[in-house]
Amino acid sequence: QKEVEQDPGPLSVPEGAIVSLNCTYSNSAFQYFMWYRQYSRKGPELLMYTYSSGNKEDGRFTAQVDKSSKYISLFIRDSQPSDSATYLCAPHMNAGNMLTFGGGTRLMVKP
Amino acid sequence: EAGVAQSPRYKIIEKRQSVAFWCNPISGHATLYWYQQILGQGPKLLIQFQNNGVVDDSQLPKDRFSAERLKGVDSTLKIQPAKLEDSAVYLCASRGGAGELFFGEGSRLTVL
């Protein structure tokens, strides 16, 4: 079993749709949960992160962590074509640790 | 604030040749990482530096890959000799105070 797993997609949705991106992990010691967005031919950029369980909202984006089931979600409301990218989840134990990335989910939002 | 700089952006070589990639992290960032990203996969850590010391190089194929950060600022990753399976994007990242990583645009290597 991989330490961090994501459905590779691609996930294709119409503009304005609500998108749900998911990630599972195996290491119960993970405490920080980051989501990175990677546009084609660019490096990943941090989208948002949460600490421990619960929800965090930032504009159209909501990150949700369920540590009991080792399940992480990223929701995008009112999706836009500019949201078309690969979304990488990266849980880790503490701020000093290296990140372990999932394989990423490719999202395509069609106008 | 300037971001993480990497060069070259693209490199094409033949197998068994050597190649070097350069990275200049964000000013003041002590921790620097090199990741390998194969097409369709997530980034995989190769090596982590704290200042000029190696923190983790457990996933670096040391028979052909080497990396250094001699003065604790910029870093070089070298591959010698290259294999076909080394074709990937090599990403450099530096770490901010809250643990977030800032990535460069990557160096895309094609080995023929």
Q: pLDDT value at position B1?
A: 64
> Hey, are the CB atoms on B99 and A4 less than 8 Å from each other?
no
> Hey, are the CB atoms on A44 and B45 less than 8 Å from each other?
no
Min CA distance, B14 vs chain A (Å)? 22
Q: pLDDT value at position A100?
A: 86
> Hey, are the CB atoms on B100 and A41 less than 8 Å from each other?
no
- Return the residue of B nearest to A6 by Cα: B42
Cis preceding-peptide flag for A111 (omega within 30 of 0): no
Is B42 in CB contact (< 8 Å) with chain A? yes
Is B93 in CB contact (< 8 Å) with chain A? yes
Return averaged pLDDT per consecutive 10 residues of chain A, 111 residues in all.
Answer: 87 97 92 93 92 90 94 97 96 76 95 95
Is B105 in CB contact (< 8 Å) with chain A? yes
Is A63 in CB contact (< 8 Å) with chain B? no
Min CA distance, A105 vs chain B (Å)? 9
Per-residue pLDDT of chain B (112 residues; tens, 9 = 90+): 689 999 999 999 999 999 999 999 999 999 999 999 999 999 999 999 999 899 999 999 999 999 999 888 999 999 999 999 999 999 999 998 877 899 999 999 999 9
Q: pLDDT value at position A92?
A: 85
Which residues in chain A have Cβ-Cβ distances shorter than 8 Å to B42? 4, 6, 88, 101-104
Q: pLDDT value at position A51?
A: 85
Is B57 in CB contact (< 8 Å) with chain A? no
Rounded CA gap, A92 and A101, in Å? 9
Taking Cα atoms as reference points, which of B97, B86, B111 lies closest to residue B26?
B97
Which tokens is B2 given? 């300037």
Is B62 in CB contact (< 8 Å) with chain A? no
Rounded CA gap, A41 and A47, in Å? 17
Contact predicate A45/A61, CB 8 Å: no
When CB atoms are compared, the residue of B44, B101, B106 closest to A46 is B101
- CB pairs A-B closer than 8 Å: 53
Rounded CA gap, B104 and B7, in Å? 9
Which tokens is B9 given? 């952006």
Contact predicate A18/A11, CB 8 Å: no
